[in-house]
């Protein structure tokens, strides 16, 4: 992205004013080349770093961050695998033509129908999340006459430096089988006891989201390699794969300093090699699951300003409330996770003195905040376009029709050409399910 001499923001060779005229606001605008480049960088970097160290490395794009048919095609084009966690996400992958062997299925409560659909399509892995699921998958595999490839999701007891609701490896939460309680080892034993219907590929660990260093991975890797070694010694099977999950952070604001893939890969490789060497086992094939780190920075949301309202604060200060034509229906992360975003006036230049502003949505909810605190030009007003960067991950995925608001389109821009890859919802769409 950049700005022209008139101060108008441009992306992929097009100005935001052109995009707003053609597609309306609000709209998610995705830089296709940026998305592809980030995907390619993860793929190439991890292949280079782990080549020769182990059986290599696979990169699974975490579809929950943002998925549509076209994005699934981009992911496949760039040589990545695809991680899905519902039958709906699997349906998107199938529609995009992603081969089954390049798909992994997650989820803490997969239905029998979802498991059947996944095995019938020949998915490359199902991540087991409970003892119940072992029985469920085995039964469906027997019914279909196949052997289901599975990984055991291990709760390693590492508290990631992130919001409580997106930290996923401490004990008191719904995901995985406990390492400390011996449940993960027992799950591996039960799977290995059923070779006619289940094939244990390896272990899986995911410690959270918005992680900016490898310290959490170091503790997690030590513990999960220890379990990998215990399975080899006590059950006689050295598992071929190890999935370290995702959760790599991005810069939503200037206070965030994410590690580039090269540093992440090098740090993780050093940790894994050291732990495996210490335990006397070979380094298994490694996989990771970036989602936000690929989709997040590739997209911004374009809004139009409506009402601008100065509000007096304690101590004589003032904050300007800038209302836009979207809100928590297209970005609930601020309300849900207390997430921080930044924004900029995208449709013009301004020399006005900056004022403390809060960008809010149009919904009947006091928590309908898009950007909590930002300095915007003092002359910001109705008709201005605002761009909120870093909205490619989880904003469309978590979007809603709150207050019966149609969801925005997703517009992909590349080489001066813009095209809709997810169309804007209409009032007719809102009413279509009413009976």
Alpha-helical regions (H) of 61-152: 69-77, 87-96, 112-121, 131-144
The answer to whether 79 is a known ligand-binding residue is: no
**Beta strands at 299-312 and 385-389: parallel, antiparallel or unpaired:** antiparallel
- CA-to-CA distance for 217 and 161, rounded, in angstroms? 11
SS3 state at 234: helix
The answer to whether 87 is a known ligand-binding residue is: no
The answer to whether 394 is a known ligand-binding residue is: yes
The answer to whether 333 is a known ligand-binding residue is: yes
- Under a CB-based contact definition with an 8 Å cutoff, are residues 228 and 281 in contact? yes
SS3 state at 379: coil
Strand 14-15: give its sheet, edge to edge: 2-3, 9-11, 14-15
387 half-sphere exposure, CB direction, 13 A CA radius: 27
- CA-to-CA distance for 115 and 97, rounded, in angstroms? 19
- Under a CB-based contact definition with an 8 Å cutoff, are residues 207 and 171 in contact? no
The answer to whether 337 is a known ligand-binding residue is: yes
Cis omega before residue 26 (within 30°)?
Answer: yes
SS3 state at 22: helix
- Under a CB-based contact definition with an 8 Å cutoff, are residues 4 and 10 in contact? yes
The answer to whether 238 is a known ligand-binding residue is: no
The answer to whether 252 is a known ligand-binding residue is: no
Query: What residues are annotated to the active site?
Result: 364
- CA-to-CA distance for 92 and 200, rounded, in angstroms? 26
Q: Give the other-Cβ count within 10 Å of 417's Cβ.
A: 11
**Beta strands at 369-377 and 2-3: parallel, antiparallel or unpaired:** unpaired
Residues annotated as binding site? 247, 289-292, 333, 337, 365, 394
Residues annotated as binding site for pyridoxal 5'-phosphate? 247, 289-292, 394
Residues annotated as binding site for substrate? 292, 333, 337, 365, 394
């Amino acid at each position: 992205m950049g700005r022209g001499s008139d101060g108008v923001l441009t992306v992929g060779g097009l100005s935001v004013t052109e995009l707003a005229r053609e597609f309306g606001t609000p709209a998610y605008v995705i830089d296709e080349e940026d998305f592809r480049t980030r995907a390619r960088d993860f793929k190439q970097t991890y292949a280079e770093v782990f080549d020769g160290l182990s059986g290599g490395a696979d990169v699974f794009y975490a579809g929950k961050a943002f998925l549509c048919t076209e994005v699934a095609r981009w992911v496949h084009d760039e040589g990545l695998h695809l991680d899905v966690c519902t039958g709906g996400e699997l349906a998107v992958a199938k529609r995009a033509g992603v081969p089954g062997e390049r798909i992994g299925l997650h989820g803490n409560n997969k239905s029998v129908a979802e498991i059947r659909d996944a095995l019938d399509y020949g998915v490359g892995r199902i991540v087991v999340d409970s003892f119940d699921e072992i029985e469920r998958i085995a039964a469906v595999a027997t019914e279909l006459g196949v052997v289901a490839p599975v990984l055991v999701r291990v709760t390693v007891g590492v508290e990631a430096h992130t919001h409580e609701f997106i930290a996923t490896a401490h004990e008191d939460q719904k995901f995985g089988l406990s390492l400390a309680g011996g449940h993960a080892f027992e799950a591996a034993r039960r799977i290995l006891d059923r070779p006619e219907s289940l094939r244990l590929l390896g272990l899986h660990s995911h410690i959270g989201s918005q992680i900016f260093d490898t310290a959490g991975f170091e503790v997690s890797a030590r513990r999960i390699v220890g379990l990998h070694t215990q399975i080899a010694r006590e059950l006689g099977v050295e598992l071929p794969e190890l999935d370290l999950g995702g959760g790599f952070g991005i810069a939503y604001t200037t206070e965030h300093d994410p590690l580039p893939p090269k540093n992440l890969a090098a740090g993780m490789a050093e940790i894994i090699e050291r732990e495996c060497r210490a335990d006397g086992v070979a380094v298994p094939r490694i996989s990771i699951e970036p989602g936000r780190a690929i989709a997040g920075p590739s997209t911004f949301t374009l809004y139009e300003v409506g009402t601008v309202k100065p509000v007096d604060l304690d101590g004589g200060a003032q904050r300007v409330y800038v209302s836009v034509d979207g809100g928590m229906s297209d970005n609930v992360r601020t309300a849900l996770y207390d997430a921080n975003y930044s924004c900029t006036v995208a449709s013009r230049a301004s020399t006005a003195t900056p004022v403390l502003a809060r960008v809010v949505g149009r919904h009947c909810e006091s928590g309908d905040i898009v950007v909590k605190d930002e300095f915007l030009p003092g002359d910001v007003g109705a008709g201005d376009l605002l761009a909120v960067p870093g909205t490619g991950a989880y904003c469309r995925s978590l979007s809603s029709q709150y207050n019966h608001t149609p969801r925005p389109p997703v517009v992909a821009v590349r080489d001066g050409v813009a095209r809709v890859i997810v169309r804007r919802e209409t009032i007719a769409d809102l009413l279509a399910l009413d009976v």
